Amino acid sequence: MTVMRYAEALNAALREEMQRDPSVFLFGEDIGRYGGVFKVSKGLRDEFGDARVRDTPISEQALTAMAVTAAMSGTRPVLEIMYADFLPLSLDALVNQASVFTYLWEGQVDIPFVLRTQGGGGVGTGAQHAKSLDAMVCHIPGIKVVAPATPADAKGLLKSAIRDRQPVVFLEHKLLYNTRGEVPDGDDVLVPIGKAKTVVEGKHVSIFASSKMVIEAENAAKLLAKDGVEAEVIDLRTLRPLDLDAIRRSIAKTNHAVVVNEGWTFCGYASELSATIMEHCFDDLDAPVARVAMPDMAIPYSEPLEMAVLPNAVKIAAAAKKALA
Amino acid sequence: MINAPSTDELKDIHHKMVVTRELEEVLGAYAKEGKTRGPIHRCDGQEAVGVAACAALRADDYVCTTHRGHHVYVGKGLTTRGIVAEIFGRETGYCKGRGGHMLLGDVKTGMLGGNAIVGAGIPAATGMALSMQILKQDRVSMVVFGDGAAQTGICHEAMNMAGLWKLPVIFVLENNQYGLTVRQEVQSPVEDLSVRAAGYAMPGEIVDGNDVEAVYRAVAAAAERARRGDGPTLIEAKTYRVKGFSTSDMGGYQSEEEMAPWLERDPIKLSAEKLSALVGADTVAAIEAAARAEVAQAFETALSDPFPTFEIHAPSAAYSETK
Ligand SMILES: Cc1ncc(C[n+]2csc(CCOP(=O)(O)OP(=O)(O)O)c2C)c(N)n1
Ligand SMILES: [Mg+2]
């Protein structure tokens, strides 16, 4: 084990996969010489050269479309989209190209590319640089979506994503890059896509979260413990395909569910979790599923306003108590 | 002459153009009887662009095309039977009936593929060229796209990157003067779209899109450049759309006076004249008869092929287990 920051763990995953497979290449804005605005690709251009670690013009639409067809024709592109807020520009390539041809041309082509991006609020980046648009990408068939919360999962899942035959959208969080954690040593330690992880065991209520919301859920579990409530926290890790077994197992034990996502509430990822639980776990539920997500509005800039809209431990704990009442 | 097609190539091109035309005409007849599904975008009068451009490439080069891509399908060497079967939704179609006439793809012939999002083929081919450059291959990619597609934002983004990184891609702008019902001058402030090449530091050239040799030579030269590592080329092939936008077009905006000179300059007629001078009228007639027979046979076989059966697509699943 080595203690690493989340950004360093991602960097290690990229380096190892590029060493392992010469068809892996990185492209995106400011990722080359500067090493990425969040320094995830730091040092990689020096090691691999600027053909494989490529600074690009500000052209998200074409870049995403190019990632799709580069992947069809023999390489494994890893595209960095600087902010998740820019994902709307990537949507045609995901919705009308990657998703469609995964099915239409199945058996003829693989589409092994990774779109890395980061979202989330909390540091005053304002309404166009702080969103979590998980639901928007999770809506698309044929595309996997991963959102790791820890350095170890960040590394293991990014390696799995790069080796996957299908398109993977890899969602990072700006407030996680500096978090530290133990990361297993070794170039072949992968974390499988599609497997959730229980991070806190409990028997009264299940809290399902991903990315930075896992930390909020863990803190909520601590708050709840003071009142004698034993919350179970499940880190989904992969948003699509969703680990339904893990969800079922936990709810069979706790009979209560709180679903958390940093994105908008209406038609959001938490809504999907809620519908999934109703459909598959209804007989095990003692109360309606409680949803904790962003209010349906633009994210304000001023600190007290931004903090008011973001889901957090206190809101999660309150939702859990309501579900248990 | 440098980069000119050989006589054998001219014969093959003529054959493929007649196959394409016959395919369009038979499809048109089926559409009239209500026996096709969805709109069909015929490329009558534009066969020289797709067929001759593909003829100038190698089998392992990639091409991308549009909703109006039958000439590219045939040009890149797809079988007529497989194309027809796909259009009629059969199991034996290139995509087992999943794609239809606009979204056909065949990796073996390097045809990847049709695309019904206007402009999408342009970054698609550029992305393939990026792969080829990174893998240090000497292949090229080509996209055939419309004058309408030339107005999209992704066209600018992709051409900029292609020029910047000297990617081995050939942009064949098939200017048939219409984007759906709207004439080109209502969509663009410049008449010759090839002038835009200057902004991307690539050569831009205008060719007669109804002249097989002109198209072939321009693409062959562009492919040479691209393989040398000298980057992309924009070729604007001027042509005309003679059968309306699609089989569901109600018309009323393309005049007969406007169309007449283009019908005079039908690319198959021009090709037949040139080829007759080289190999004699009998040989040309035999080529055409063989092409028509091939299409008739393709329809006969494909239409008695089975339909596919529906299966849920597991790689698209929302859940990581299937219980
Ligand atoms: C992004 C997008 N916008 C609009 C359409 C509808 N549409 C389909 S073809 C077409 C015209 C395209 O013109 P052009 O690129 O010149 O191709 P042509 O039909 O002339 O071959 C339009 C507007 C579409 N399919 N995709
Ligand atoms: Mg047009």
Q: ipTM score here?
A: 0.97
Query: Given this model, what pLDDT does residue B321 score?
Result: 73
- Look at the block and give the residue holding tokens 């599609």: A194
One domain for residues A136 and A222: no
Q: Is residue A189 domain-resident? A: no
- In whole angstroms, what is the distance from residue A306 CA to residue B288 CA? 71
- Average pLDDT on A231-260 reads 98
Residues spanned by the domain of A18: 2-183
Kindly give the distance from the C-alpha atom of residue B142 to the centroid of ligand 2, in angstroms, as a whole number. Answer: 18
Nearest residue (CA) to ligand 1, atom 17: B146
* Omega cis (within 30) before A241: yes
Query: Given this model, what pLDDT does residue A9 score?
Result: 98
Tens digits of per-residue pLDDT, B257-269? 999 999 999 999 9
How many Å lie between the alpha carbon of B255 and the closest alpha carbon of chain A?
35
When computed from its CA atoms, the radius of gyration of chain A, rounded to whole angstroms, is 19
- The count of CB pairs under 8 A between chains A and B is 151
Q: Catalytic positions of A, please?
A: 60, 129
- Does ligand 1 have an atom closer than 6 angstroms to the CB of B170? no
Stated pTM of the model: 0.97
Give contacts of B103 with chain A, Cβ < 8 Å. 100, 104
One domain for residues A34 and A157: yes
Q: How deeply is B106 buried, as exposed, middle or buried, from its count of CB atoms within 10 A (0-12, 13-18, 19+)? A: buried
Mean pLDDT of chain B: 97
Helices (H) and strands (E) in chain A, counts: 12, 14
The gap between the terminal CA atoms of chain A, to the nearest Å, is 42
Kindly give the distance from the C-alpha atom of residue B147 to the centroid of ligand 2, in angstroms, as a whole number. Answer: 5
- In whole angstroms, what is the distance from residue B160 CA to residue A58 CA? 11
Query: Given this model, what pLDDT does residue A138 score?
Result: 98
One domain for residues A48 and A158: yes
One domain for residues A14 and A59: yes
Listed residues A151, A183, A215: the one ending a domain: A183
- Average pLDDT on A280-291 reads 98
Query: Given this model, what pLDDT does residue A183 score?
Result: 98
One domain for residues A6 and A75: yes
Tens digits of per-residue pLDDT, A206-234? 999 999 999 999 999 999 999 999 999 99
Q: Is residue A192 domain-resident? A: no
- In whole angstroms, what is the distance from residue A49 CA to residue A213 CA? 36
- In whole angstroms, what is the distance from residue B200 CA to residue B188 CA? 18
How many Å lie between the alpha carbon of B131 and the closest alpha carbon of chain A?
5
Query: Given this model, what pLDDT does residue A44 score?
Result: 98
One domain for residues A137 and A201: no
Q: What ligand 1 atom has the least distance to the C-alpha of B150?
A: 15
Contact criterion met (CB below 8 Å) for B122 and B159: yes
Look up residue A94 and give its DSSP letter.
I
- In whole angstroms, what is the distance from residue A53 CA to residue A49 CA? 6
Residues 289-318 of B with CB under 8 A from A: 313, 315-318
Percent of chain B at pLDDT exceeding 70: 99
Ligand nearest, relative to CA of residue B144: 1
Query: Given this model, what pLDDT does residue B2 score?
Result: 78
- Average pLDDT on B151-166 reads 98
Written as six digits, the tokens of B289 are: 């008869």
User: Could you tell me which of A31, A139, A37, A144 has the C-alpha nearest to residue A91?
Assistant: A139
SS3 (DSSP) at A239: strand
Kindly give the distance from the C-alpha atom of residue B245 to the centroid of ligand 2, in angstroms, as a whole number. Answer: 9
Contact criterion met (CB below 8 Å) for A53 and A41: yes
Q: How many domains does chain A have?
A: 2
- Does ligand 1 have an atom closer than 6 angstroms to the CB of B42? no
Mean pLDDT of chain A: 98
pLDDT band at A311 (very low <50, low <70, confident <90, very high): very high
Q: Is residue A65 domain-resident? A: yes
Output the domain CATH number for residue A147. 3.40.50.970
Listed residues A140, A161, A183: the one ending a domain: A183
- Average pLDDT on B209-214 reads 98
Look up residue A58 and give its DSSP letter.
S
Domains of chain B, residue spans: 7-306
Residues 6+ apart with CB under 8 A from A67: A27, A77, A79, A93, A113, A115, B127
**pLDDT of B1 strictly over 80:** no
Percent of chain B at pLDDT exceeding 90: 98
Ligand nearest, relative to CA of residue B150: 1
Residues 6+ apart with CB under 8 A from B146: B66, B68, B118, B173, B174, B175, B176, B179
User: B82 at the A interface (CB within 8 A)?
Assistant: no
SS3 (DSSP) at A2: strand
One domain for residues A155 and A286: no
User: B127 at the A interface (CB within 8 A)?
Assistant: yes
CA-nearest residue of chain A to B131? A70
Q: Is residue A190 domain-resident? A: no
pLDDT band at A75 (very low <50, low <70, confident <90, very high): very high
Tell whether the torsion through CA atoms of A271, A272, A274 and A279 is positive or negative.
positive
- Look at the block and give the residue holding tokens 């600074």: A55
* Architecture field, domain B7-306: 3-Layer(aba) Sandwich (3.40)
One domain for residues A8 and A52: yes
Residues 6+ apart with CB under 8 A from B241: B45, B46, B176, B177, B178, B254
Output the domain CATH number for residue A227. 3.40.50.920
Query: Given this model, what pLDDT does residue B322 score?
Result: 54
Q: How deeply is B55 buried, as exposed, middle or buried, from its count of CB atoms within 10 A (0-12, 13-18, 19+)? A: buried
- Does ligand 1 have an atom closer than 6 angstroms to the CB of B209? no
- Does ligand 1 have an atom closer than 6 angstroms to the CB of B103? no
One domain for residues A149 and A257: no
**pLDDT of A307 strictly over 80:** yes
**pLDDT of A165 strictly over 90:** yes
Among B118, B177, B241, B246, residue to substitute to test ligand 1 (most atoms within 8 Å of Cβ): B118
Query: Given this model, what pLDDT does residue B208 score?
Result: 98
Tens digits of per-residue pLDDT, B107-145? 999 999 999 999 999 999 999 999 999 999 999 999 999
Contact criterion met (CB below 8 Å) for A199 and A233: yes
**Residues making up chain B, counted from first to last:** 323
Flag if B113 and A61 touch (Cβ within 8 Å): no
One domain for residues A204 and A280: yes
User: B131 at the A interface (CB within 8 A)?
Assistant: yes
Written as six digits, the tokens of A53 are: 């670690």
One domain for residues A46 and A141: yes
One domain for residues A284 and A135: no
